[in-house]
């Protein structure tokens, strides 16, 4: 275990950095340096806006992002964090030093990130893991994320502080537009376009009438689309985390097999097995989160979306073959789809292939795939080959087919 003096020296270096504000708390221990600080909702809002704006600029390139598009992004950001205006978000970080000593005791929550960073770091280098609070879009409350491995190149002793500040601590972002800033371009444009005034007035006076009779108003649809877009963005983050975790599961499995073949240290093999089990649990949990998100995204289904996969000829490539009969819905990978799904880390590991599923089970098991297709850029749908067996009643077949069409586009050969 690394000596405490190493971390006391690192602590002094970090505190001397210009970005070390008064909110930084740190404690040096034998084996680690523990740090924590806070972000405000405004900090998080600003960085979320800048990330979304950069993404839009990349997609629009070489064309500039228009003012109304910036306003839409700002509105989404403010809506996402509107319930947490005064909340402070805590960030925790642990910095370790890898040498020949025995690693410190790590709890189960930290273990996946710790082992990932530990095995990727060369001797006599620092590595870090961190977590932060962020708003849960479902509950509106601030909740801690899982622990993450510091993904910068592992620094030596001299570079540790600089790497920490440039990669681990969140840099300041230019502020997002104020709550009302996105309204002004729309008002100016509306005033300039006098010919649209009558249509605007009709829309205003018809909206209460539409609500009275239970119809969705334009405002309702706009709010729903904003909520769905926020959810798609959250699903995209889950999708990336799922893909990353699947890669680590495969890497752990390969490394364990290699070490067993080459006569590796039992202690190191046991550590890797522990990390593998934690990563597998993480994959299962992410799959459950994707399933819940797929359920909430159900109102977004519609026609006219492109195929998620296409072949060399440009035609849709199929993910599953779905067999429908009185026993239930049975899924098998379409030819070549299993390898492609594994390569792209598509969230299909929870789908029991070759098993007859009820309509309810099929819907639950395929929600992660549906959520991933909703979060794709652009939104898309996976295609399924529908193969029909014998049914005792037409209504049973109809229920099964409708269940498949909720999450996929179908092809009937």
pLDDT single digits (tens) 39-59: 777 777 787 788 778 877 877
For the stretch 312-369, pLDDT in tens is: 888 899 999 999 999 999 999 999 999 999 999 899 988 999 999 999 999 999 999 9
- pLDDT at site 155: 53
Residue 246: is its pLDDT beyond 90? Answer: no
| Digit-coded pLDDT (tens) for 185-210 | 333 333 333 333 333 333 333 444 33
What is the edge-to-edge ordering of all strands in the sheet holding 383-388?
A: 328-333, 318-325, 383-388, 409-411
Would you state the pLDDT for residue 178? 65
The CA distances from residue 306 to 252, 300, 310, in Å, are 35, 14, 9
Residue 2 is predicted with a pLDDT of 60
Average of per-residue pLDDT across 97-109: 77
Q: Indicate the helix (H) or strand (E) that contains 203.
A: helix 197-212
* 21 has a pLDDT exceeding 70: no
Among 17, 7, 28, residue whose Cα is nearest residue 97: 7
Is pLDDT at 22 greater than 80 in this prediction? no
Cα atoms in the Cβ-side hemisphere of radius 13 Å centred on 68 = 5
Tokens standing for 203?
Answer: 């829309």
In a 3-state reduction of DSSP, which class is residue 331? strand
121-179 pLDDT, tens per residue?
A: 777 778 888 888 876 655 667 788 888 876 555 555 555 444 454 444 445 567 767 65
The mean predicted confidence, pLDDT, of the chain is 75
């Amino acid at each position: 275990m690394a000596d405490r003096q190493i971390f006391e020296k690192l602590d002094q270096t970090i505190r001397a950095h210009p970005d070390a504000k008064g909110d930084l708390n740190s404690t040096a221990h034998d084996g680690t340096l523990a740090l924590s600080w806070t972000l405000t909702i405004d900090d998080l809002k600003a960085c979320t806006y800048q990330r979304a704006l950069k993404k839009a600029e990349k997609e629009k390139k070489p064309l500039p992002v228009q003012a109304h598009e910036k306003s839409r992004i700002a509105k989404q950001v403010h809506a996402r964090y509107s319930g947490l205006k005064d909340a402070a978000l805590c960030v925790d970080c642990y910095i370790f030093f890898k040498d020949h000593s025995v690693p410190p005791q790590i709890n189960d929550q930290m273990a996946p990130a710790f082992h990932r960073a530990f095995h990727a770091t060369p001797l006599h280098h620092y590595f870090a893991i961190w977590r932060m609070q962020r708003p849960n879009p479902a509950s509106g409350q601030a909740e801690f994320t899982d622990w993450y491995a510091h993904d910068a190149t592992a620094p030596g002793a001299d570079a540790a502080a600089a790497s920490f500040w440039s990669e681990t601590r969140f840099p300041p972002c230019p502020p997002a537009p104020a709550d009302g800033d996105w309204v002004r371009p729309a008002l100016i444009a509306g005033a300039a376009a006098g010919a649209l005034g009558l249509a605007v007035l009709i829309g205003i006076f018809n909206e209460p009438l539409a609500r009275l009779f239970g119809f969705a108003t334009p405002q309702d649809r706009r709010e729903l689309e904003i909520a769905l877009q926020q959810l798609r963005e959250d699903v995209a983050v889950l999708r990336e985390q799922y893909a990353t975790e699947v890669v680590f599961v495969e890497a752990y499995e390969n490394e364990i097999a290699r070490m067993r073949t080459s006569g590796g240290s039992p202690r190191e093999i046991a550590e890797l097995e522990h990390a593998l089990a934690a990563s597998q649990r993480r994959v299962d949990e992410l799959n459950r989160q994707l399933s819940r998100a797929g359920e909430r995204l159900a109102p977004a289904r519609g026609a006219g979306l492109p195929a998620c996969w296409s072949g060399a000829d440009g035609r849709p490539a199929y993910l599953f073959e779905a067999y429908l009969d009185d026993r239930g819905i049975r899924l098998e990978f379409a030819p070549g789809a299993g390898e492609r799904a594994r390569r792209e880390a598509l969230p299909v590991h929870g789908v029991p292939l070759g098993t007859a599923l009820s309509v309810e089970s099929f819907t639950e098991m395929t929600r992660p795939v549906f959520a991933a297709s909703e979060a794709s850029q652009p939104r898309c749908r996976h295609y399924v080959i529908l193969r029909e067996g014998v049914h005792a009643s037409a209504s049973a077949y109809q229920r099964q087919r409708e269940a498949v069409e909720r999450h996929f586009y179908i092809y009937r050969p």
